[in-house]
Structure 1
């Protein structure tokens, strides 16, 4: 049996669309997976025959009895997703869907381009972010077995354990936000006393507001490597807001944002919404703070004792090593393999990051 894992090829972006999938492909390849490159394309007018030929070419080496981990969504059209898994099953291949996003949850309505829950039910196993995500899928009629990734990994070739172990005397009781500022329009009205450093592309109106606010240090967009060098030793803010088009905040009830892993992997404790899916893991493992609203930000940061902060920074440094090494992806892949090959087998894990500790 060979093991395969898909990767999505596209141009560079300032968000995590490409990088999260590329990191998983790198981790999987080191764990013995063969990589299948899937190129993003505008294939809406492509015939079914041409689409099938495209899939056949990408998966020519995949054989009956093999295991294939499919990073979903591929960001192609729904026909591609559907044709891909149907062709794999016709060839006797077991398919695990590693879910990055559930479009129905993110957009708050079922996407027109794919019958998402029917797709999940075609898979042999799903790798999901959280128990809440599983509960939602079950409510929608998805019966496929699941395993958990818990956190996304975040690789950094230039990282060192010393560099990303922030000492209490070097830490600043400030916050930083880096990412897609479309999700963070509230920054234009930042009124907290706690200063914030902001990285990301902003429209002209938001840019003017950020530049005019003395509590905001707006630094614009950065490519990944440059951003990681410039992250200040502060709390990382993982706080998405809703817009008229997307309910980003509501989506965090189910998914684990990539920026949380970016912060933790580089030594920064995080601040998250108390209702976010990742909040329980953060609080249980003393990796940051969970608050109800940004109105509580100043008080939460200032009331944190020096001893609690030192413990938090030490815990973040330890977990950061796991994230930078790809541990969360590896354990999810191993769990998915076991679920496919021996579905009735169970094993109680132990240790500081066991299933019990992680709230499973």
Structure 2
């Protein structure tokens, strides 16, 4: 049996956006020669039954784990991450932890010594970006750390997906996800050659101050496995919070460390990115030439006005380059290779 292993788990749905990144990571591990020693990946919505299957799968994996193996764990892993660590140490195996989410960096939870000490038991870490890596270093982590840079989003292009050519007099900026309070403030922006197309949940037309003079166009909500084929726009917006001037609140603070899966979704929709300049992924966007960063949404009008059609076209070409890696799992593959 191979020495490089992982443990598949149960997810609530095969088409659940929340589990998409972790399900993709299991596939990428398999494609890179890692073998699942747990049960097969399942998609059972019942939480009790799903938890039971995951518990039995982890136990089965620990029993099968060979001494001296390398185990890749995804964090968080419900209640089973600590159990997996215990089993790996029992079998004298090395642990690589791929970090998806950190409560300690979310303001509503605050710093958790328990979480930090749990993760310190990992031999190697794959984290989101340089900002998150620096935070781990500040917590006195001795583990070797690699950055994933961007989360992969496995997907095969649908040739029938609608992709409309850019009208530079009416640029469509897409926001996909939960509609935060800032959405309804967008009508307060100075008008320019742009509007906002909205996809997702939580949209409330009653919150629009003047429905006859709005830059908002709600397109609907679609399952995670279908939304890529429905989104048709020119730029994708990564922004959270209550105001136009900064990404505030819990989600805004987290954006300073987090790689939002939303950004990868936009790339698969062939769109350059507009992102808060203090977001951790702003550096990635600028470095790869796949969009631009702003300190306030009030800057959008000027920044778009400064861009020539040729510059936007170059951004789109750069998106195609990065997209090819994202949809084929290259970012996690490279991170794994750095640690092997």
Q: Kindly indicate whether residue 22 of structure 2 is the aligned counterpart of residue 21 of structure 1.
A: yes
Distance in 2 between the 1:226 and 1:163 partners? 10
Match of 1:189 among 182, 185, 189: 185
Change (3 A) 1:164 1:252: farther
TM superposition shift of 1:13: 8.3
1:166-315, aligned counterparts within 5 Å? Answer: 173-181=171-179, 184-191=180-187, 192=189, 193=191, 194-202=194-202, 206-209=204-207, 212=211, 214-241=214-241, 247-315=250-318
Distance in 1 between the 2:221 and 2:141 partners? 39
* Alignment: residue pair count: 323
Change (3 A) 1:215 1:97: same
Tell me which residue corresponds to 1:60: 63
Change (3 A) 1:109 1:225: closer
Distance in 1 between the 2:236 and 2:105 partners? 24
Instruction: Encode CA deviations 1:110-169: one digit per residue, 9 max, x unaligned.
Output: 477x81111111001000111111111222232221011000011113446x97998667
Could you tell me whether the CA contact under 8 Å between 1:242 and 1:250 is conserved in 2? no
Could you tell me whether the CA contact under 8 Å between 1:242 and 1:248 is conserved in 2? no
Distance in 2 between the 1:218 and 1:51 partners? 38
Change (3 A) 1:153 1:166: farther
TM superposition shift of 1:8: 3.9
- SS of alignment partner, residue 255 of structure 1: coil
Quote the RMSD (CA, aligned, Å): 3.2
Distance in 1 between the 2:33 and 2:164 partners? 33
Tell me which residue corresponds to 1:341: none
- TM-score w.r.t. the length of structure 1 is 0.80
Could you tell me whether the CA contact under 8 Å between 1:202 and 1:220 is conserved in 2? no
TM superposition shift of 1:224: 2.0
1:315-334, aligned counterparts within 5 Å? Answer: 315-334=318-337
Unaligned 5+ segments in structure 1 are: 339-360
Tell me which residue corresponds to 2:6: 5
- SS of alignment partner, residue 69 of structure 1: strand
Q: Kindly indicate whether residue 28 of structure 2 is the aligned counterpart of residue 33 of structure 1.
A: no
Could you tell me whether the CA contact under 8 Å between 2:168 and 2:309 is conserved in 1? no
Distance in 2 between the 1:65 and 1:261 partners? 35
Distance in 2 between the 1:277 and 1:71 partners? 21
TM superposition shift of 1:175: 0.4
Could you tell me whether the CA contact under 8 Å between 1:165 and 1:314 is conserved in 2? no
TM superposition shift of 1:98: 0.2
- SS of alignment partner, residue 95 of structure 2: strand
- SS of alignment partner, residue 220 of structure 2: coil
- SS of alignment partner, residue 123 of structure 1: coil
- TM-score w.r.t. the length of structure 2 is 0.84
Please identify, of 266-275 and 214-223, the stretch whose mean Cα deviation from structure 2 is larger: 214-223
